Amino acid sequence: MTCLVGVDIGGTNTDLIFLDSDDGRLRIAKVPSTTRDQAVGLLKGLDALGVTAADLDLLMHGTTVATNATIERKGARCGLITTTGFRDVLELRRRDRPRTYGLAGEFIPLIPRCDRREVTERIGPAGEELESLDVEMLERAICDLQESGCEVLVIAFLHSYANPIHEQQAADIARKIWRNDHVVISSDVLPAIREFERTSTAVINGYVQPLIGRYLSSLTTKLQAAGLQRDLLVVQSNGGVMGATNATRFAANTILSGPAAGVTAAGSIARDLGIPNAVSCDTGGTSLDVCILRDAAPALTQNTMIAFGLPLALPMLDVDAIGAGGGSLARIDRAGLLQVGPESAGAEPGPVCYGRGGTIPTVTDACLVLGLLDPEAAIGKDSGAQLDVQAARNALLEAIGKPLGLSAEAAAEAVLTILGAKMAGHVRRKLLEKGLDPRDFTMIAFGGAGPLHANRLLREVGLSRAVVPLYPGITSAMGCVLGALRHDFMRTVNRTLSQLSGTTVVELCASHAAEGRQLLLREGATAEEIGTFYAADMCYRGQSNVITVPFPAAAATSWDAVAEAFKAAYRERYGRLLDGVEPVIVNVRTSVTGRTGFTSLARFTRLPTASPPPPGVRRVYYGGQWHDAQLIDRHVLPEGRIVAGPAVLTQADSTTFIEPGFQAVVHATGNIIIEARP
């Protein structure tokens, strides 16, 4: 590829990066997101880059459409058809509750009971047909749901992972009756054991499918009208990318599209710097997204809780998010305590200092009052954004200062203290719950607000050091162009190693690999670029929690290597083995990948060689008093330059604050490394 653009659309800003591999050009842009039509903000971003769609060989896009629709309950109206007796599986869930302490709580499923129907049919756990599908009953249920106004039909029958014949038969009938193409069957989305998780995943896929379909169709039409020749690629929750057509079919795979792109970039940065253990901390305008990387590879999970009672059992990067970012609202609660987030001002109206109608102070307002932000160099200033210091002071004083008896500066510092404690607790918990020592990890801090709070997190969590990427505010967009085409497949086998036929697994893996290969070739990958990887979800007989163990294709005919890999993984997680108990392979997984963009952006780094001009001076409020901090344009710093704190490093997409007692060193890759001064 010659010219690529990566686009990440967040809740506050739309980030873009343009790469020309022929001449090594790299350009970035950050424009306000357009919440009513995100495509508008994307096209404005292309204008800000100074390129047109016709100039591009490829456009790769991370989106939050599916995420927001699910969390905010703004998806399509769906109807669900299940096996007789399983109408309420969505509400039965697992034996859990939204709050650990207390008996109060409620759960509202994505599909209400009035839009759920049962039909007579039965497949056994071994795939045998116990009762045939009642076609007349099915047709009545389909017509009933369609007449009631449902836009999407989801079909989830018992044990369809073992034999999907009834679901496929029902889908064939439904497609002749249903008014549109939105017919989802669970064995297509997740052919895996566990009825509740499989049904929930299929429902989430159907719930967001029309929204993703309309959005990508509208965006593709606009881009093609502007001259884009290739299919738009969309970032998946597993960090890979896929074509827009497949993204519509498997819409649930885009649930963590934006955060996954940032983690992909963090992995590339960790490899460039030779960092084995890292914590990816993406702090934007709305949230802090955290992911652990071991050997520069992000952790994966096979089951993520999108919200209480809404599990999504698909391969995803293990990203954990909380509502903490530059737009997080600060307020005094009814108990008289200062709270920050999880609510955010978003792009509209935004922080008070933006002058767009916001009245509640935010973290950005606090940073401005403390001198950490330059009012003349706001993110998005090219789009007309200005920062009003006095408006921010007045809002903080009125909402926080007066109730607590604090000055505007003390109120602002209190806001950052609360935010820092909240963020640090989240990062610390993520590490400690896996038995990991924070001192062994390096934080990769990015997002528009990430570098402002990196030093505070580094200090409070006890991490060894922090890395701020070359363009921290555009890092998720960078991850879009670093992602590989990828498709994941799985199938439940649920057999012990002694019961399992190696030939059966080889045939299953080969079938998945062939299907994935065809998808990648249609999406533009070349045959030489395609790679295939295998893994198995395993546990001991009688257990329900599984461990995912990678294995080479040759191991599918001799399971000794797989058994040893499972024992090593089990011992690492639980500290001991269960002697005399045979391991079970629950699911077999296949991942097929193909390279599209780049594996590293280090080649595009252009650091200055001349000595930088003398730094300016910025008055910053820190630790209860004012300090004279160095004010430096980050991009004038050459390789090896050491900047001692307190210092404020400015750039168009973000601002980095170096606290007193710490220093920043410019690495050859353009990344900045922050650590305690010797």
Burial class (CB in 10 A: 0-12, 13-18, 19+), 497: middle
Q: CA 108 → CA 112, 150, 309, distances in Å?
A: 8, 17, 9
- 624: how many CB neighbours lie within 10 A of its CB? 8
> What pLDDT does residue 672 have?
96
The pair of structure tokens assigned to 213 is 């379909």
- Say what the alpha-carbon torsion angle 604, 605, 608, 612 is, to the nearest 10 degrees: 140
56, 191 contact by CB (below 8 A) = no
What are the φ and ψ backbone dihedral angles of 14, each rounded to 5 degrees? Answer: -105, 120
Q: Which residues of 223-309 form beta strands (DSSP E)?
A: 233-235, 241-243, 277-283, 288-294, 297-298, 300-301, 304-307
Q: What is the 3-state secondary structure of 84-130? A: CCCCCHHHHCCCCCCCCCCCCCCCCCCCCHHHEEEECCEECCCCCEE
Identify the burial level of 532 via C-beta atoms within 10 angstroms of its C-beta, where 0-12 means exposed, 13-18 middle and 19 or more buried: middle
Instruction: Assign 367 to helix, strand or coil.
Output: helix
- DSSP per-residue string spanning 508-560: HHHHHHHHHHHHHHHTT--GGG-EEEEEEEEEETT----EEEEE-GGGGG-TH
Residue 111, pLDDT score: 96
**pTM value?**
0.88
* Rg (the chain; Cα; Å): 26
Find all residues with CB under 8 Å of 264, minimum gap 6, and list them.
235, 239, 298, 479, 482, 483
* Predicted local confidence at residue 286, as pLDDT: 82
Interacting residues of 153 by C-beta distance below 8 A, sequence separation 6+: 78, 79, 81, 142, 145, 146, 174, 178, 182, 183, 184, 206
Neighbours of 333 (CB within 10 A): 8
What is the model's pLDDT at position 227?
Answer: 85
Look at the block and give the residue holding tokens 């997080």. 328
Neighbours of 437 (CB within 10 A): 12
| Residue located via tokens 């496929």 | 168
Residue 39 neighbours by CB distance under 10 Å: 17
Are the beta carbons of 244 and 235 closer than 8 angstroms? no
Residues of the chain where predicted confidence (pLDDT) is lower than 50? none
Cα–Cα distances in angstroms (integers) from residue 146 to residues 71, 80, 82, 186, in the given order: 25, 11, 16, 19
pLDDT at 135: 97
